[in-house]
Amino acid sequence: MHINVKTGAAEKEPAEILVFYLYEDIKIIEGALAYCNKALNDIISELIKEKRFIARLNKTSTFPTYGKIPAKRIMLVGLGKKKDVTLDKIRQAAGTTASTVRDMGIDEVTSVADSISVLLSENEWYQAYIEGALLAQYKYQRYKYVPPEERQEITALTLLLSNKDALKPARDAVRDGQIIADAVSFVRDLINTPAQDKTPAVLADEAKQLAREPGIQCKVLSRPELKKLGMGGLLAVAQGSVQPPKFIILEYNARAKNQDTIVLVGKGITFDSGGICLKQAKDMDQMKSDMSGGAAVMGAIKAIAKMKLPQRIVGLIPCTENMPGGSAIKPGDIVKFYSGKTAEVVNTDAEGRLILADALAFAERYRPVALIDLATLTGSCVVALGNVVTGMMGNNEELKKRVKIAGEKSWERVWELPLWEEYQEQIKSDIADIRNIGGPYAGAITAACFLSKFTEKYPWVHLDIAGTSWCDKNSAYTQKGASGVGVRLLVQLVQDWNRFS
């Protein structure tokens, strides 16, 4: 989609479709909309008066202009009540705009930016708007024949401003929005790809491709190096699969001096069958998404590099399948991690923490000022929080606060679960340093307790994205399948890093 930001008068714009945004509780029509209303014999004010258009969020009304103004059609899009407006509602309204226009078979749309600017003062909305419009267009069609008539797409989006001074900030924000939407789409593609076509080796190749971006370096460790390093967790999980494991290391700004190093760790299980503790068949197909954390780390680094942010960022992604092959780890086996600690593997389906343990300890060598890990770690987190919000746990109040703020701003929100001492009891083992599952309750927390044994040397936040990484239904700017969660949150966190320090 080509995005164009320009100045001009909406009432004079020869658009295919001209889009205005409205609040539900504001009845006065002003500016260009008032002009168009008059030219169209009060059609808009009457629609509103007669309640045939109520500007609830994501509601639209479209009508032809019969040559009375240069634009062929007008579309009104609701934003809901004024007091309830948020950037995410702008993101949603933009998504609704894009998909409604696309479904009408129109490929060019002109949005009257002023109709939002008068409603929201900050410039940030431009970025959210572009994210919504682009992400709403996302479809995963790699393996599907799509008849030509269903291949509609918006090819051009124009944002029309009346104020010349707003052009520069709007264009900058639009560019950030494009970078982010592009990274989120990249992440969604990786996650939606069937496990057969995204083995650890394929993910490693994708990471190497990322290193073509200026500032990014990629190194991939294979089995011999993993053995040498003693990454017993990753090797143990990989034992049951014919696909060899890979440990992906991405570095952005590796040589930056006097910059904080932030390490991002992502769970990269390309398929989680459960191993010998085999999962039930229902919804097992969704377990191709068990590398969502790893994908988010890749996407975030891609976006951060494109934005040329100053921090030094390291991404660590342990990658393997979790399969029940003849040489698979068995319940009761004991593994020894990179750190030297041992764990009794009581349940082979609790594999994420085993591969993360190695990555988290390995991260110490980068001396991070902060480490954030993202993992589709537990069904228990889905039970607790559903798919609305990501579970957060960690060992550092300041970092948790930063992540929480970044979550609110990007609308990839997080909710803290307690990581209190009492829970550590559950992962004690008689025959190893720890065991890999706790009791039947508080599973998201006991999983984090396990990780906490490997993160003592730096400020750490763990994000359990098991619920938020996958969508069961379509909504304004997400489709069924991978959500791409994590990218927006991580980029926001890094963007704001120096602002708060």
Closest separation in Å from C-beta 466 to ligand BES: 4
* Residue span binding ligand BES (CB under 6 A) among the ranges 133-141, 173-181, 305-313, 347-355: 347-355
Name which of ligand BES, Zn ion, none residue 347 binds, using a CB cut-off of 5 to 8 Å depending on partner kind: ligand BES
* Under 8 Å between Cβ of 9 and 32: yes
Alpha-carbon span 360 to 392, nearest angstrom: 16
The full 3-state SS of 181-204, as one line of letters, equals HHHHHHHHHHHHCCHHHCCHHHHH
Considering only residues 71 through 110, tell me which ones interact with ligand BES, judged by CB under 6 A: none
Q: How many residues does the chain have?
A: 501
Closest separation in Å from C-beta 248 to Zn ion: 17
Alpha-carbon span 232 to 342, nearest angstrom: 9
Residue number closest to ligand BES, CB atom: 379
Q: Which of 93, 234, 442, 466: binder of ligand BES (CB under 6 A)? A: 466
* Under 8 Å between Cβ of 218 and 301: no
Alpha-carbon span 217 to 211, nearest angstrom: 5
353 counts as catalytic: yes
| Residue from 59, 81, 139, 279 carrying the catalytic annotation | 279
Closest separation in Å from C-beta 114 to ligand BES: 43
Closest separation in Å from C-beta 487 to ligand BES: 18
Beta-ladder partners of 161: 7
Considering only residues 354 through 393, tell me which ones interact with ligand BES, judged by CB under 6 A: 376-380, 382
Question: Which of 289, 276, 424 lies closest to 346 in space, CA to CA?
Answer: 276
* Under 8 Å between Cβ of 392 and 404: yes
Q: Output the DSSP codes for 242-267.
A: SSPPEEEEEEESTT-TT--EEEEEE-
Residue in the structure block whose two tokens are 């083992």: 429
What sign does the dihedral 341-344-348-353 (CA atoms) show?
negative
Closest separation in Å from C-beta 448 to Zn ion: 14
Nearer to ligand BES, 261 or 376 (CB): 376
* Under 8 Å between Cβ of 426 and 439: yes
Q: Output the DSSP codes for 407-429.
A: HHHHT--EEE----HHHHGGG--
φ, ψ at 140 (rounded to 5°): -100, 105
What 3-state class would DSSP assign to 343? strand
321 binds ligand BES (CB under 6 A): no
Closest separation in Å from C-beta 378 to ligand BES: 4
Residue in the structure block whose two tokens are 């929080």: 385
| Residue from 91, 353, 402, 488 carrying the catalytic annotation | 353
Site string for ligand BES, 225-264 (x = CB under 6 A): ----------------------------------------
464 binds ligand BES (CB under 6 A): no
Site string for ligand BES, 417-456 (x = CB under 6 A): --------------------x-----x-------------
DSSP class of 459: -
Nearer to ligand BES, 268 or 443 (CB): 443
Nearer to Zn ion, 290 or 412 (CB): 290
Residue type (1 letter), 484: G
Considering only residues 349 through 378, tell me which ones interact with Zn ion, judged by CB under 5 A: 349, 351-352
* Under 8 Å between Cβ of 176 and 304: no
367 counts as catalytic: no
290 binds Zn ion (CB under 5 A): yes
Closest separation in Å from C-beta 377 to ligand BES: 6
Nearer to ligand BES, 295 or 382 (CB): 382
Which residues are annotated as catalytic?
Answer: 279, 353
Q: Give contact residues for ligand BES (rule: CB under 6 A).
A: 272, 290, 347, 349-352, 376-380, 382, 437, 443, 466
Q: Give contact residues for Zn ion (rule: CB under 5 A).
A: 269, 272, 290, 349, 351-352
